[in-house]
Amino acid sequence: MKAQLKKFISDESGVTAIEYGILAAAMAAAIGVIFGSDGVFVTALKERFASIADQITDTATTDSK
């Protein structure tokens, strides 16, 4: 019985899976904060993509004339 208990206590095979789970949860939370609907980064990205879309539209309009 003691040998089985020592073996169980020294077994760390499940620790890695738990660590990866905690890391994945932390990364998901960080991504949620950074790219949340009211985040600063989302606003900056929307503005940048709108600028790119305007440039493409302006270029297409200029080329077709």
pTM higher than 0.75, yes or no?
no
pLDDT in tens, 48-60: 999 999 999 887 6
The answer to whether position 55 is within a domain reads: yes
Provide the pLDDT for residue 25. 94
At residue 65 the predicted structure's pLDDT band, cuts being 50, 70 and 90, is low
Domain that holds residue 46: 33-59
**CA distance from start to end of the chain:** 88
The answer to whether position 7 is within a domain reads: no
Number of structural domains (the chain) is 1
Provide the pLDDT for residue 58. 82
By the 8 A CB rule, do 35 and 41 touch? Answer: yes
The answer to whether position 44 is within a domain reads: yes
CA distance 38 to 42: 7
Name the token pair of 20. 């990866």
pLDDT in tens, 8-35: 778 777 778 888 889 999 999 888 877 7
What's the gap between Cα 64 and its chain centre? 40
The answer to whether position 42 is within a domain reads: yes
The answer to whether position 45 is within a domain reads: yes
By the 8 A CB rule, do 41 and 34 touch? Answer: yes
The answer to whether position 49 is within a domain reads: yes
Residue showing tokens 């009211």 = 38
